Chains A and B, each alone.
Chain A
Amino acid sequence: MPHRTFLWFILPSLTAMFLFIAMPIVSVIVQSLFVAHEQVLVTVENCGPFGCTQETRVDREATAALREAQPLGRFNGLGTYVNRSHLATAELAQAWQSRESLGQFLGQLMNLPFYRALAFTLSFTFIVTPLVLVLGLAIALGVNGLPRLLRGPTIFFSLLPMIVTPLIGSLVLFWMIDAQGVIGATLQILFDDPNLSLKASPALTWLTLFVYGVWHSAPFAFIVFYAGLQTVPAETLEAAMIDGATRWQRVRYVVIPHLMPLAVFITLMQLMDNFRVFEPIVGFQAQASATSLSYLIYSHLRGDVQQFGSAAATSVLTILGVAILLTPVLIRTWRDFNRKRA
């Protein structure tokens, strides 16, 4: 394709990407460097149904004048990035100097909101992603071995967890694992412990969220692998059978290498998706035990006071996190691409 044609061909999507991806990211980066104006406070008398009190309020005219002068707010540089709500460099340095043991330092680290969220986000990403790959492949191989008549219905039911909206799916499970719910009550009987609750302890909450993550994403891996399985060359498989390969050896040495590019694709998608884990935390009301970077952004922007600077800084850190996570996979893909071209 001539370069000119190619350019015209991708111009619409390039424009859309610039407008809806690049511009917002630039705006978020700019936002993260600024904080709100100094608030001019005055004390006034407030009266209501429960009597009068002297209370502080913002002097709106004075604050509006400050805002007029600098519409973006006060320039804070990287101040927001290093404060306690984010990278907490000062708190970290202090914890490191006063540490008595590595465990105690890690305890201090987990006490800071950003690192607590990062710990869960990374655990979720690195536990759920491989399990999704393995389980997805297993389901695909299983379904592929079914008689043709049963395949359609099985595929439909296997896809259900992905079809259900994440928030609804997690709410349904949240009610099922309630102490009064069908799963929660069964577990209490099985383990003979009337106080067993999947919602109470952080460890069990994490476990529940991981299980939910695998349940929700496995169908995606399954359907991609299943499509790939239809393209595995029959000659190679037959040759392997003649050579006396067992079913496991055929999977290991013929099917898996053939599906490798798909596995890389699923890994990429899953790393990105799982790093942004958010809905299950809301659905499972898990914020006491588990928060993620996306949940932090949501929490900054909720409530009576919206902290745009904080939310922007966490967003930029999340983008950086995704970039770091994807780099190894992308480098690998690039090398493969170059090798094939050469």
Chain B
Amino acid sequence: MTMKKLSTLTALTVILGASGAFADCGISAGRVSILSNDFPALQAMAAGAAECASATVAVSANQTTEHRDIQVAALTANPAEYTSAIVANSSIVPLMNEGLIRPLDDLIAQYAPDLPQLNRITIDGQVMAVAFMANAQHLFVRDDVLAQIGASAPSSYEDVLDVLAKIRDAGMMAHPFAMNTAAGWNLGEEFVNMYMGFGGELFEAGSAAPAINNATGLATLEMLAALNEYANPDFLTFDSNATQALWESGELAVAYMWGSRGGAVLDDENSTPVVTGNTSLIAAPTVGGGSLPASTLWWDGFTIAANISDEDAAATFQALMHGLRPEVISANNNAAVWLMDGYTPGAPAAGVAATANAGARPYPMLPYVGLMHTALGNELAQFLQGQESAEQALADVEAAYIAAAREQGFLQ
């Protein structure tokens, strides 16, 4: 072998090596089109999947916070507009109801036989989604503020109220608390979390009949009102972006926020070292003497559309698994609480892990829970503004839910 030949061979190897990403996916042909929410963890996954693009494999992604509103229509088309929808506990339900996603058992057996049981969202014996990250709302606390008033990290909401009273009495902060209470979906979620913490059930067992208009519901509303006494009066407009900004500006001492914000809160952007250095992520508190944290656990996972060819389904499954391979996960370690190989739980994951370990329940995957969530989000604001009683608010939620559930055929 002459030197010239050798160098040609080396060059060829380099080229092959550079295109190794294509070869790794092992997809011969197909269409991969992803519909998902828009946050850093999902962007990393989509970028990983996009590496599988080649002359015969088309990869595209639509990442939007409005994904839930278009997913049913987009997957109803035949062939479906997107070959995969990235869903969570609640948003998989409408896709299931309409039969728009396919069972993944055959694809898992062929391409990912080692996928742990943990990741397999199994419904009635069939794997319908592959979960890859977990999320939950939990407490963020400022250690320096707690130290100044001589308090330890609160483990119950009663402790939280105690801490907040001390902070206000000490004149340190006028509004030391915040949670995601924007009227609408966020507010509904806070009710569900607190209500679960009190051990409540949203529905009567085995039926779509509502079960929130009771003493547990009242206690839930009273606790939400007591907490928001310590929140900025604008609290009915607070979504995740607003509470994160408040936290990073150092105006809060205790906040109840999504774990997925942990990475962004703890990094050194948009905040000061005093705030980031003293922020601890701890479990969601218990409430009313209960033992379970007042929070619900969420998973994010991928599904594959039913109305696409087997070739596209196989290509999509392989590309998404490629986007979730250990190198991608470890490179984006702090972007989420991953449920995949390659993840090393760090400080941003501490709150979600503690909440899950303390036994928080998953958000219910019921076909009618979305209607209840909407009713809660729409009808509770007036109570929190002090315009109506807790009893009236719960009666309103119940009536609004029943009207909607009748219309959707869940109740007669």
Contact = CB atoms under 8 A, between A and B. Distances in A.
B387 A55 contact: no
A327 B303 CA distance: 52
Nearest to B68: A304
B131 A48 contact: yes
A303 B121 contact: no
Given A48-B121, A49-B131, A111-B396, A35 B97 contact: no
B211 interface: no
B385 A47 contact: no
Contact of B367 (A35, A39, A53): A39
A83 B182 contact: no
Contacts of A299: 184, 374, 378
B409 A289 contact: no
Nearest to A196: B233
A151 interface: no
Contacts of A51: 362
A101 B23 CA distance: 77
Contacts of B364: 55
A197 B237 CA distance: 12
Given A85-B400, A199-B237, A289 B184 contact: no
B233 A200 contact: yes
A200 B371 CA distance: 26
B404 A307 contact: yes
A305 B374 contact: yes
Interface in A27-49: 35-39, 41, 43-49
A179 B234 contact: yes
Interface residues of A, number: 56
A49 B297 CA distance: 9
Contacts of A194: 174
A197 B232 contact: yes
Which applies to chain B's interface (DSSP): helix, strand, loop or mixed?
Answer: mixed
Contact of A288 (B120, B183, B388, B407): B183
A169 interface: no
Contact of B403 (A64, A85, A289): A85
B124 to A, nearest CB: 4
Interface stretch (B12-20, B87-95, B264-272): B87-95
Contacts of B69: 301-303
Interface in B289-306: 297, 299
Contacts of B234: 178-179, 197, 199-200
Nearest to A44: B124
B118 A49 contact: yes
A289 B121 contact: no
A89 interface: no
A292 interface: no
Given A36-B408, A44-B123, A55 B366 contact: yes
Given A35-B407, A113-B400, A199-B237, A50 B297 contact: yes
Interface of A: 35-39, 41, 43-53, 55-58, 60, 63-64, 74, 76, 80, 83-85, 91, 111, 113, 178-179, 194-195, 197, 199-202, 285, 287-289, 299, 301-307, 309-310
